[in-house]
């Protein structure tokens, strides 16, 4: 489901354009969704050893193969994403209780893709808690009433570059006021002096308590998209079945998604999906049934936007 978006303005980036080497390399290593380490019951494929004196069974061989494949993909990942986000400011928003290690790994891979580190923010569980919605709405009304009507719109204005001018949407002091207010109220957490206005946003989900929270996370991603961001929502395999990824994929807003985000190949897909978003396209990637493909298709040479 790759389509074209408008409105990115003067900060468009060329298409991914990584050539046939990408497809060939990942084709060697990306396994089917039912292979151990790449499906709904797996986190990271681990090496398993048969008891001493017993031959390795089929399950052990498959697990070892999956672990080796993941290691191989991780080894070539920097070359596969090189320059795909060159000089594009990218921020990572991790919605608790999504795995912080996955956020770190995707952040590192984004840097290897040439992205400017625009910071990382943790969205606490309180941010999407219906019981705290009124308190969050009050912060919106107090800090940015003239342009924002929802928490997602407020965060979009605080974090994003304007797609038409490539300038920050709000002044630095206003951005600091918004972020400080949210942190003091327990809605977010971040390190001082690390947050810059961004062009691309990766939202990491996982472990949402119920459909209400998953729905709130998807609406938040839609609000970021409407604010002019290139948005990719990435999460675990199960989120594609009953979580934020499923909610985004069932909508009609051009926000990209990637499932099975704990795996190296999916982290490559996440970085490339963000590059595709910045270039004006979108898609749903991974191994779940509601994904369009495993990875974004590289643009043929000479056809980059």
Predicted local confidence at residue 54, as pLDDT = 58
Mean pLDDT over all residues of the chain?
Answer: 81
Q: Going by DSSP bridges, is the β-strand pair 116-123/188-189 parallel, antiparallel, or unpaired?
A: antiparallel
Prior bond to 97 cis, omega within 30? yes
Question: What sign has the CA pseudo-torsion 134, 233, 31, 241?
Answer: positive
Predicted local confidence at residue 72, as pLDDT = 77
Measure the CA–CA gap between 285 and 294, rounded to whole angstroms.
5
| CA-to-CA separations, 100 to 61, 122, 216, 252, 258, in angstroms, rounded | 30, 9, 20, 29, 17
For the chain, give percent helix, strand, coil, nearest 5. 45, 10, 45
239-252 b/e (C-beta count within 10 Å ≥ 16 → b)? bbeebbbbbbbeee
Q: Please list the alpha-helical segments (H only) found in the chain.
A: 20-29, 58-81, 100-112, 133-143, 151-159, 172-184, 211-226, 239-242, 244-249, 264-278
Q: State pLDDT tens for residues 35-80.
A: 334 444 444 444 344 455 555 666 676 676 667 766 777 788 888 8
Q: Residue ranges of the chain with pLDDT lower than 70?
A: 1-59, 61-62, 64-66, 69-70, 208-209, 298-305
With a CB cutoff of 8 Å and minimum separation 6, the contacts of 293 are 283, 285
Quote the tokens at residue 10: 């003067």
DSSP category for residue 277: H
- Taking the domains of the chain in order of start, what are their residue ranges? 9-19+81-285
- Please, are residues 137 and 298 in contact by the beta-carbon 8 Å criterion? no
With a CB cutoff of 8 Å and minimum separation 6, the contacts of 194 are 117, 119, 120
Q: State pLDDT tens for residues 102-120.
A: 999 999 999 999 999 999 9
Q: Which residues pair with 201 in a beta bridge?
A: 91, 231
Predicted local confidence at residue 41, as pLDDT = 40
Quote the tokens at residue 298: 């590289």
């Amino acid at each position: 489901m790759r389509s074209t978006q408008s409105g990115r303005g003067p900060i468009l980036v060329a298409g991914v354009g990584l050539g046939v080497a990408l497809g060939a390399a990942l084709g060697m290593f990306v396994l089917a969704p039912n292979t151990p380490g790449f499906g709904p019951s797996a986190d990271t494929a681990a090496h398993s050893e048969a008891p001493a004196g017993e031959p390795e069974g089929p399950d052990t061989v498959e697990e070892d193969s999956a672990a080796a494949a993941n290691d191989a993909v991780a080894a070539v990942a920097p070359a596969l994403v090189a320059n795909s986000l060159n000089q594009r400011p990218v921020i990572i928003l991790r919605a608790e209780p999504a795995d912080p290690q996955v956020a770190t790994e995707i952040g590192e891979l984004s840097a290897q893709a040439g992205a400017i580190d625009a910071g990382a923010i943790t969205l606490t569980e309180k941010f999407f808690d219906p019981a705290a919605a009124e308190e969050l709405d009050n912060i919106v009304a107090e800090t940015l009433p003239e342009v924002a009507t929802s928490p997602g719109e407020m965060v979009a204005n605080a974090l994003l570059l304007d797609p038409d001018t490539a300038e920050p949407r709000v002044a630095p002091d206003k951005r600091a006021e918004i972020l400080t207010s949210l942190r003091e109220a327990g809605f977010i957490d971040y390190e001082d002096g690390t947050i810059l206005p961004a062009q691309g946003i990766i939202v990491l989900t996982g472990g949402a308590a119920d459909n209400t929270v998953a729905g709130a996370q998807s609406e938040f991603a839609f609000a970021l998209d409407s604010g002019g961001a290139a948005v990719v929502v990435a999460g675990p395999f199960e989120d594609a079945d009953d979580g934020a990824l499923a909610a985004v994929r069932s909508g009609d807003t051009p926000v990209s998604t990637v499932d099975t985000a704990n795996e190296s190949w999916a982290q490559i897909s996440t970085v490339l999906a963000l590059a595709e978003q910045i270039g004006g396209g979108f898609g749903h990637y991974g191994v779940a049934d509601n994904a369009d493909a495993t990875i974004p298709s590289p643009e043929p040479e000479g056809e980059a936007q």
